Amino acid sequence: MGHTRSGQGDIGPVTTPLFFADAVLSRAGYACWRAELDSVPALGFEDTSLVGFIFEYPSAAAIVDGWRAAEEGMIKRHSRDFRRAGEKAWNVYCAFLTASSATPAECRQLRTIEEDLEQTRKLMGTSQTDEAAVSQALLPILPMTYSPQLGTFDAEARLARRLDGLVPGISNLLLNDAIEPEQVLQHLSSQR
């Protein structure tokens, strides 16, 4: 949509959801720019396949009250850009974030809004007080970065347990480099 990088300094204090969103999205390869709609602070973002806006609200109740006006205002303001965006125009997101927590009733309302697929795809996030929380809220638009976490274990001890489960005592023979394969076979023959 032809905007330039926001340069995190103009996103606001370094503890706001928009500041964290700018960092997360920039690392993911999105171009980000500062936006505002009817005094609601926002961050625009775009890559080769999608475009969207993140709106920051003071509370979950404020999101519930203001999300539709923000979405419609953003669509109206950028309708010309969306028409020129081609296929990307089918992949428009609006994310609504707040650093405040939400009551269970507000959480249900936010889930209902998120399920509304009219006009844009919606993402919601409450308690957005650090980069990890914002990453979680924006997960559907972030590239997959799964890295398996393998626990540490003693492979030899694990193998020994598995072998001994098949033939009791066999691990002492199989895992001992000083014992020749013929000796292992003789032991197995004597076990029958």
Q: Is 59 helix (H, G, I), strand (E, B) or coil?
A: coil
Interhelix angle 60-84/104-115, nearest 10 degrees = 10
Q: What is the pLDDT of residues 60-112, one digit of tens each?
A: 999 999 999 999 999 999 888 888 888 877 889 999 999 999 999 999 999 99
pLDDT of residue 62: 97
Q: What is the pLDDT of residues 130-172, one digit of tens each?
A: 999 999 999 999 987 655 566 677 888 888 888 888 888 888 8
Query: Is residue 130 within 8 Å of residue 16, measured between CB atoms?
Result: no
Q: What is the pLDDT of residues 9-59, one digit of tens each?
A: 455 557 899 999 999 999 999 999 998 888 899 999 999 989 999 999 999
Query: Which positions ≥6 away from 36 have C-beta within 8 Å?
Result: 42
pLDDT of residue 5: 44
pLDDT of residue 8: 46
